[in-house]
Amino acid sequence: MTQTIIWTVAILSVLGLLLALILFWVARKFKVEEDPRIDEVEKVMPGANCGGCGFAGCRAFADAAVKAPNLDNQYCPVGGDEVMQKVASILGYTVAKKAPQVAVVRCNGSCEARPRINEYDGAQSCRVKAALYSGDTACSYGCLGCGDCVAACQFGALSMDPATGLPIVDEQKCTACGACAKACPKHIIELRAKGPRGMREFVSCVNKDKGPMAKKACASACIGCGLCAKTCQHGAITVTDNVAYIDFNLCKLCRECEAVCPTGAIHGVNFPKELDKDAVKKRIADRKAKAAAAPEEKKEVANG
């Protein structure tokens, strides 16, 4: 009995030792040299593996970052500047600060504003629907309402509003990874700068039809009248293909465009006070009167 136990222990010990030696040798022989910085970078990444940076996941991003000569073409939208600074310090690079972004839905064609003229009962997918026809309403540019963006969001930042039939973005959860913008077949969702304290102005419409047609299809469509562009003091607004666009780098958040927009297609969000349209319009009128008066004064001086 004792002998059996001794033999068993001895054989197993020798066997274990032998196998350990083989394993040690194999590990030495076939070792893959990997830059230790990849692990370090991966540790500071958010770890969501969302693909928002354009790489397959955080590990792939870290690998590419270590191999790249600089970080100009790489940005983790989820981690933002904080993470990028950490990555840069590990790798000894410098990165420019980028303004945090957020997904913005550029369609405000709610159920009341945009009456339905067709009914769809096919597969509930915006992509399928867009391949079949232009949508339930007379607007061929607007939101289809099947929620492909909601399905694409890994962070639970999007949800469909049953009252308007449009998606809403939860700014707290949105990481600006851009998955929703890619999923939208109508290209309605755009990543825009979050703005100071979240305040931002944007045109919530992408309808390229001419004014009367756009208006007929949707009461709150941008009709391309250009009033906002004329009013804007900062040259931030351009009207192309009958739809206005606000450049967020130039916008000074004065909200004048929002006040003059005849259809309410321009939206301002996260402002502390509600927009007093009349006051802003009065301000614009005063300024115009002053501008009209100014050259006359000059003329008088010249004449005098």
Nearer to another protein, 44 or 183 (CB): 183
**Which sign does the torsion angle of CA 252, 219, 111, 278 carry?**
positive
Structure tokens at 298: 């000059």
Cα–Cα distance between 176 and 99 in angstroms, integer? 11
Q: In the complex, what is the shortest distance from the CB of residue 153 to another protein, in angstroms, rounded to a whole number?
A: 16
Cα–Cα distance between 72 and 81 in angstroms, integer? 13
Nearer to another protein, 128 or 239 (CB): 128
Q: In the complex, what is the shortest distance from the CB of residue 9 to another protein, in angstroms, rounded to a whole number?
A: 51
First to last CA, the chain: 129
Cα–Cα distance between 203 and 242 in angstroms, integer? 12
Nearer to another protein, 85 or 134 (CB): 134
Nearer to another protein, 134 or 154 (CB): 134
Q: In the complex, what is the shortest distance from the CB of residue 210 to another protein, in angstroms, rounded to a whole number?
A: 9
Burial per residue of 162-186, b for 16 or more beta-carbon CB atoms within 10 angstroms, e otherwise: eebbbbebeeeebbbbbbbbebbbb
Nearer to another protein, 115 or 122 (CB): 122
Chain residues binding another protein by CB under 8 A are 117-118, 121-123, 125, 127-128, 131-135, 138, 140, 209
Residue 5 φ/ψ, nearest 5 degrees: -65, -45
Q: In the complex, what is the shortest distance from the CB of residue 48 to another protein, in angstroms, rounded to a whole number?
A: 18
Q: In the complex, what is the shortest distance from the CB of residue 128 to another protein, in angstroms, rounded to a whole number?
A: 4
